[in-house]
Amino acid sequence: MKKVWLDAGHGGTDSGALGNNLREKDITLQLVLHARAYLEHNYSVDVQVTRSTDVFVSLSDRANRANAWGADIFVSMHINAGSGTGFETYRYPSQEGSQSSLLQKELHTEILTIMRKFGTIADRGLKTANYAVLRETNMPAVLTENLFIDTTADAEKLKNATFLREVGEAHARGIAKYLNLPSNQVTFYTIQSGDTFYSIAKKYNITVQQLQDANPGVDPAKLQIGQQIVLPVTTYTVQAGDTFYSIAKKYSMTVQQLQDANPDADPAKLQIGQQIIIPAV
């Protein structure tokens, strides 16, 4: 199972940036907790956080803890200051083309897409910096700067609980996309007229035995229209920019196979966070 370390910037005696009656340490903690909850609910993944309360943790301790735990990636969340506006991400300078660079791109795209649901957001770019948590960590590491606390328009968004939840969850989806995390969502199928275990298994390219094992209390000879059974299949959470073509290519299948497994999903109206079934091929 993949191991993800989430780092809420500042904390305790270190308030971080201040502005518009906001404290950076409070916002970063909310983002991390939203990201952790989303990851743990939607994916098979092990998540640890630097802090889950308002406590101080030194920069070296943040990196050391993640290193000692053997984290696969490290993501540090911050809020900017300095009277600017917009969103930017950072990795360590010597890592162009590295796994940190790939992680940065996934996070940057996913988070910026969600932020722009709430209005105009300046893209300040994918940057590099010699920050301690990027320099001292042994795994791919990225630091996000989520708007400016001392700019009124940005601060209004940072006061919006829905905005913070969706930005935290966007961090989680960017992480999931980079790590190709398996979903832990249970997938149900509603019995239609004429369905049998054999026809359902054939449709999703699984065996009848797999279907029976996933539904030990269900009698295949007594299926009822409208009855729900568990499908032992992989599901995929739609990310920013996904299409049926890109998802099919990712899983080495045809678009038609993907459409057949998701008859109720409109390929032209995919929603970020939507769950689709990935049939075995």
Q: Which residue in 145, 156, 166, 169 is the catalytic one?
A: 145
Based on the residue annotation, tell me whether 169 is a catalytic residue of this protein: no
Residues in the chain: 281
Residues acting as catalytic residues: 145
